Structure 1
Amino acid sequence: MVMLYKLDASPPARACMVACELFNIPVQLINVDMPSGEHKKPEYLKKNPLHTVPVLEDDNVIIHDSHAILMYLADVYGKQDSVYPKDPKQRARVNQMLFFDSSVLFQRLRNITYPLYVEGITDIPEKNLLAIDEAYGYIEEFLSRSKYLAGDNITIADVSAFTTVGALVVIRDLDTKKYPKLQAWLKEIESLPYIQKGNTKGAKEFETFVKSKLERDALRKWRPQNVASTESGVFRTRPNQKVTSKENDIVLCLMVKLYKINASPPARSCMVACELFNIPVQLVDVDFASGENRKPEYLKKNPLHTVPVLEDDNVVIHDSHAILMYLADVYGKQESYYPKDPKQRARVNQILFFNSSVLFGTLRNISYPLFVDGITDVPEKNLLAIDEAYGYIEEFLSRSKYLAGDNITIADISAFPMIGGLIAIRQFDAKKYPKLQAWLKEIESLPYVQKGNAKGAQEYEQFLKSKLG
């Protein structure tokens, strides 16, 4: 039987519980006693070195990222193609929203909840609350382009994001006049029977736990002034609200275009993939210094105003991991880089999400204040987070030659520039991490990696040194 290790209050775990309900999967739900340290015992760390929930066991496959779990369950147990389309272009839209949930929504939630739960901090910095507002704005924009996050049908992207947004709303309530489409989407998703069965109990536990950490007066202070509080504190409705739908505006391309800046590790991973798959690509530099990434024509391609962005015929993708998956599916001639077998693919996917949430999250927590806020001091806890990331990679590489198995995959291509960015900030002890050292040396020597990555890696390091001195 499928086994799911979970904690009801965990939004990612609830997303997987909802998926089991949606796909009618007989599942054994196993509670992980985190207060007693069960998640740090050897038998659990063998399943998941990151010591997090959820973890899925199905026959001989073990997956420890909620998004990779959702993709696996949809591929193996899903009977409706609409929930996770097989067409590469439609699937790319779902994938980029799953990575949006991982790298944007969940990271903003974790930046608040981790200090609350682990460090005992009960004061939320204003910038973290404003980051939630920004995330609401992104979702409102996505929902202005299609009825649901990844198109005109509910997909696993909606399932994944719903539990995260529900947790964010507990902390930072919605201004329904400002975000009407988000409010209507929340109301509709919340009403679905499989959502209620898999999510409701844990959502209440999460809200109770947050309120136990924060005074009610403080919660009220953090809500926008023009939004009244409710007892439930979550999904208020507007009478007769309807969600309108319209087709995404699509840009027609004669050649694959990749919008990038060389210094960006995510952009470089896509440049490497184009070299690997021999894709004729037009590389388009985005001038961040002049604000080109904030102009309407660019925001039309990517509301997050980030790089990279890929345009290919009538598909536009704005997450590097989703781009890699799409390029491998459409242009990759060797299946080994992104296997079609669901179990093997799940191993690659979970490392892609590890890269998105852990490696890139760690790098961004350091680089964003340096580049945007002008801060020139890196907090010690952020440096220790890099060491922790190195430890995770060493553990993965102790289990297989490469990050997701015994062949190089897009997971290695995605992680390599990110780890290079971390090393530019924090060198590692080669004696302590010998497998990481050997892996770096091998990946760096590959001709397609050198061609797509080397120049930008030097630019990133030079830019970093100009900030840190």
Structure 2
Amino acid sequence: MDFYYMPGSSGCRTVIMVAKALGLELNKKLVNTMEGEQLKPEFVKLNPQHTIPTLVDNGFSIWESRAIAIYLVEKYGKDDSLYPKDPQKQAVVNQRLYFDMGTLSDAFGKYYYPLFRTGKPGTEEDLKKIETAFGFLDTFLEGKDYVACDQLTVADIAILANVSTFEVVEFDFSKYTNVVRWYANAKKVTPGWDENWEGLQKMKAVHRITLALFNMDFYYMPGSAGCRTVLMVAKALGLELNKKLVNTMEGEQLKPEFVKLNPQHTIPTLVDNGFSIWESRAIAVYLAEKYGKDDSLFPKDPQKQAVVNQRLYFDMGTLSDAFGKYYYPLFRTGKPGTEEDLKKIETAFGFLDTFLEGKDYVAGDQQTVADIAILAIVSTYEVVEFDFSKYTNVVRWYANSKKVTPGWEENWDGLMQMKAFFEARKAAATN
């Protein structure tokens, strides 16, 4: 029994829960509709509407979640509790299933689907349709524990999949007290609830990233190591930033509208749906924690997280600080810092080389935001032609990081812009 699905889809989650209630194991086959996999000829042959979920049971192909749910119960159910044979009881179950599709799901789509295209929800009228739908559902549940009968049916399961979706997008249905009571019980008694919730978390991650695509402004200059850090972290998370160039050489960071966003008037600065945050490492951690599908880039384990934080502070207070003290004078005088300043760079690279002894990453067993931040600054050292070849662990790590870090090419493009500017300022200072 092959089941073509995506875990975030409420219809797919309906079928998964019904199958669980029946003790059936589905052979799950992921179909990424975002990549157009449902349009492949082999899938269209199974389902000419090319929709998910689709079930193929020993050569018999059927789609539309509610039709699949009924089919599974009628063919594999040990009794008719999930879909009664009594005409009147069955009629009520059917009515609730059509209500789920034509009213509840339809209202969800009209209000929330525009977010995926425009970054904004539907109209106030669309929102009122959701409220009306929940009002109907609340009425259906007056004095009842289940939506259609005296026991759990496929109607409860389908509506549970839908109502839990409303919860994840943070629609407040607390005033619908019968729905709240039913929902709390349905989560307890419905087999497969845990998998339904896991699918919702995946959907939520996509939902949050989609919002970010439309509402995340990034104020930057491409040559800045901090800006390049954020660009690479965003790339690793699958985020597209709405980039806004701030020419600090022309004083654009001092404009009142920018100072209002960031009173320190520094770049990079990120504004995410009205929330403003600056300092590249703080931004990197924020993005990883809010939009990461897991905690690999910024671990939740206190000890692992502590090491990542230490490396980030090392990047700012030692590695980047040493760069600034030795190389920034070139922008003003055409000459670098002192020999003592150069020794601080060498000391910093010595520390980094020690951190990397016998390790592939700077702070753990996988790439983290610390690797990305340090990659941004080490690549800056390469461009200004600081010779770090004697730090063999750094050289090994650097070669690998360039290969495995998403966004490396944009980092390098930014460095080339920085190099051109750097050389022009150096030439101007020496003339």
TM-score range, shorter chain: 0.3 to 0.5
Name whichever structure is richer in helix by fraction.
2
- TM-score, normalised by the number of residues in structure 1: 0.44
Pick the structure with greater CA Rg. Answer: 2
- TM-score, normalised by the number of residues in structure 2: 0.47
Q: Which has the higher contact order (CA 8 A, sep 6+)?
A: 1
